[in-house]
Chain A
Amino acid sequence: MAVRYAVRRHRNTTATVLALVATAIGLGWLVLILGSLLWHGFSGLSLSVFTQMTPAPDSAGGLLNPIVGSLIITALAVAIGTPIGMLAGTYMAEYGRYDRASSVIRFVNDILLSAPSIVVGLFIYQVVVAPMGHFSALAGGVALAVLVIPVVVRTTEDMLRLVPNSLREAASSIGLPRYLTITNICYRAARAGMVTGVLLAVARISGETAPLLFTSLNNQFWNVNLNAPTASLPVVIFLFALSPYKEWQALAWTGALIITLAVLALSIIARTLAASKGQS
């Protein structure tokens, strides 16, 4: 009997140790990645990174055009994706809450949420780039918008569902039509959550590379024309990191650091917003 107890206790200890080790591995990896990113990224971080264009091989330069390009493409994606996502989420939470269609759309949306982004790139290449005949920032923006939509749909719907029905009933009882109830009451009540959703979507797309490879392509020079190929930070990192030039590789690390800091800042802001909302 005592032996069996010992065996069981032993097993429990082993499992506990394994769980600790697993957690240490997970956390250790985060530290390792962030650590090496800071180490390699910071050494290249200087003002010229933000003021100069991407250099030719074997010369110094900065990341100004890809940074601006990324901002343009991200802004486009948010401008296209957010309204569609919010309206779709509104339909699913408000008008079509008990529709069969809504549950189908929710299912499809959840699949789109984790669909491979490279396939989205192929899709946009087929429907935007090929008919237009050239790569462009616009195509990149549309490709990223396809990734924004599911995130925004999901959070909008979830947040609107959290709005108590008594608010809607109160609005209806003073004669407010449905659409004003939604825009003036529900949106206002769910605002923090919906903003969180948009922030999360931006965080998600700002590091996306695969859909941009053959939509916005790359551009070595300054460009703000939406109809021309445009550099973006992730694509430049990809090209520079795989190049044999030391300067390019250093810039790739710095770019990687910038993206990661931006993404982490966005998710922390989103988290705080969501948390403060949850308390009130």
Chain B
Amino acid sequence: MVDVALQSDALGSAEAATRAAVLDRLRLGDAVFRSLTRAAAFAVLLLLSGVIVSLFIGALPAIRQFGLGFLISQQWNPVSDTFGGLAPIYGTIITSFIAMLIAVPVGLMIAFFLTELCPQWLRRPIGIAIELLAGIPSIIYGIWGLFIFAPFLQQTLQPFLIDTLGNVPLIAPLFAGPPFGIGMLTAGLILAIMVLPFITSISRDVFEAVPPVLKEAAYGVGCTTWEVVRHVVLPYARVGVIGGVMLALGRALGETMAVTFVIGNAHRISASLLAPGTTISAVIANEFTEAVSTLYTSSLIELGLILFVITFVVLAIARYLLLRIERRIG
């Protein structure tokens, strides 16, 4: 009895020691892993601030030199080292505007089709096909736009627009000039195709989240399918749809390669949508490696900073709206 007790005691202390050692190791492991994950999580925050700070530092020479005039000057002259960002900023806004003008109604109509009209067995394949559009790399849109879409527009849509809308008072200047094929309109159209899937898939998700009771009640009082969508589904899903649209807008603003191929890269602001122009991202993509003077590089970085700030605000609004709808659904 005594023997056994002694033995177990001896064993116990040895066991306790190893047990403590193991526990210490585990505790250490936990602390290490915890701080490791925490560091990685904060690295994400650091990334965002790093982008802003580094771009700001890079843009400082240009900011010092040109001040706020950078935003309203159209001058872009590497020879005399004077730079103003108005033309690319204007191009970015106009091309994105054209893109949204087309992609929002088309995207919403596709979402309407997918949620209300489409037979059940076709919904998944069509949904996936539309989402594949989002998966195609932007450079593919670029090369397709340059070789296929732009010549096509040059021969068909653009002469048509010039002959018809080009003669309508007030909007005539928008469609003046020869059909180049490439230009603001082409870039806007390509962007529209690219952001379409974002609008469609988010709208579809929020449309599907509308409580069936609401729709059934509307059908019950005799509404047509369109009336249900227009007066019940759309108002209910409004916040989510706007969130999706803003997300798509963020994409359109920052899209580079597809636009660079078809915009024409002309540093001027023309009233005509058919004329070549440029966007912030296209200028940076085209000229950054060629920029020799500090001021040139710095001006391009300032453009990048402006682009980042604009998209940041747009995306932040989008995320905020989508977060709100998520909370309501979840």
To the question of whether A and B form a pair in one complex, the answer is yes
Contact with B along A251-273 (1 / 0, CB 8 A): 01100100110011001000100
**Given the complex of chains A and B, what is the CA–CA distance between A212 and B213 in angstroms?**
51
Contact with A along B120-137 (1 / 0, CB 8 A): 000000101110110111
Stretch from A44-52, A104-112, A162-170, A188-196 that touches the partner:
A104-112
Please state if B113 and A23 are interface contacts (CB–CB under 8 Å): yes
The size class of the interface chain B forms with chain A is: 35 or more
Tell me if B's interface is mostly helix, strand, loop or mixed. helix
Contact with B along A53-96 (1 / 0, CB 8 A): 00000000000000000000000000000011111101110111
The answer to whether B226 has its CB under 8 Å from any CB of chain A is: yes
Tell me the nearest residue of chain B to A93, going by C-beta: B37
Contact with B along A207-250 (1 / 0, CB 8 A): 11110011001000000000000000010011001100000010
Please state if B44 and A112 are interface contacts (CB–CB under 8 Å): yes
Please state if B26 and A180 are interface contacts (CB–CB under 8 Å): yes
Please state if A209 and B45 are interface contacts (CB–CB under 8 Å): no
The answer to whether A16 has its CB under 8 Å from any CB of chain B is: yes
**Given the complex of chains A and B, what is the CA–CA distance between A278 and B325 in angstroms?**
24
Q: Write the nearest CB–CB distance from A223 to chain B, whole angstroms.
A: 18
Residues of A within 8 A of B193 (CB): 29
The answer to whether B157 has its CB under 8 Å from any CB of chain A is: no
Please state if B50 and A127 are interface contacts (CB–CB under 8 Å): yes
Please state if B301 and A102 are interface contacts (CB–CB under 8 Å): no
Tell me the nearest residue of chain A to B31, going by C-beta: A179
Tell me if A's interface is mostly helix, strand, loop or mixed. helix
Tell me the nearest residue of chain A to B254, going by C-beta: A116
Please state if A114 and B250 are interface contacts (CB–CB under 8 Å): yes
Q: Write the nearest CB–CB distance from B90 to chain A, whole angstroms.
A: 17
**Given the complex of chains A and B, what is the CA–CA distance between A100 and B284 in angstroms?**
37
**Given the complex of chains A and B, what is the CA–CA distance between A120 and B284 in angstroms?**
12
Please state if A105 and B36 are interface contacts (CB–CB under 8 Å): no
Given A9-B224, A146-B47, do A182 and B113 touch, yes or no (CB 8 Å)? no
Residues of B within 8 A of A23 (CB): 109-110, 113-114, 118, 126
The answer to whether B227 has its CB under 8 Å from any CB of chain A is: yes
The answer to whether B210 has its CB under 8 Å from any CB of chain A is: no
Q: Which of B225, B226, B300 has the most CB of A within 10 A?
A: B226
Given A111-B48, A115-B312, A179-B29, do A11 and B38 touch, yes or no (CB 8 Å)? no
The answer to whether A122 has its CB under 8 Å from any CB of chain B is: yes
Interface residue from B257, B285, B312 paired with A111 (Cβ < 8 Å): B312
Q: Write the nearest CB–CB distance from A219 to chain B, whole angstroms.
A: 13
Please provide the chain A residues from 12 to 36 with a CB less than 8 Å away from any CB of chain B in the complex. 12, 14-16, 18-23, 25-27, 29-30, 32-33, 36
Q: Interface on A for B, CB 8 Å cutoff?
A: 8-9, 11-12, 14-16, 18-23, 25-27, 29-30, 32-33, 36-37, 40, 83-88, 90-92, 94-96, 101-102, 104-105, 107-112, 114-123, 125-127, 146, 149-150, 153, 177-180, 182-183, 203, 206-210, 213-214, 217, 234, 237-238, 241-242, 249, 252-253, 256, 259-260, 263-264, 267, 271
The 10 closest A-B pairs by CB, nearest first: A207-B137, A116-B254, A87-B40, A22-B109, A91-B37, A179-B33, A12-B224, A15-B226, A19-B113, A91-B41
- Since A87-B39, A179-B33 are in contact, a sample of 15 more A-B pairs with Cβ atoms closer than 8 Å, ordered by chain A residue number, is A15-B230, A22-B110, A23-B118, A27-B129, A29-B196, A33-B141, A115-B315, A118-B285, A123-B55, A150-B44, A177-B27, A207-B138, A210-B257, A234-B137, A252-B143
A-B contact pairs, 26 of them (CB 8 A): A8-B224, A12-B224, A23-B110, A23-B113, A23-B118, A23-B126, A26-B110, A26-B133, A27-B129, A27-B130, A29-B133, A30-B132, A36-B148, A87-B36, A88-B44, A96-B41, A105-B44, A108-B45, A110-B319, A111-B316, A116-B307, A123-B51, A210-B257, A256-B140, A264-B132, A271-B128
Q: Interface on B for A, CB 8 Å cutoff?
A: 26-27, 29-30, 32-34, 36-45, 47-48, 50-51, 54-55, 57-58, 105-107, 109-110, 112-114, 117-118, 126, 128-130, 132-133, 135-144, 146-148, 193, 196-197, 200, 224-227, 229-230, 247, 250-251, 253-257, 260-261, 281, 284-285, 288-289, 300-301, 304, 307-308, 311-312, 315-316, 319, 323
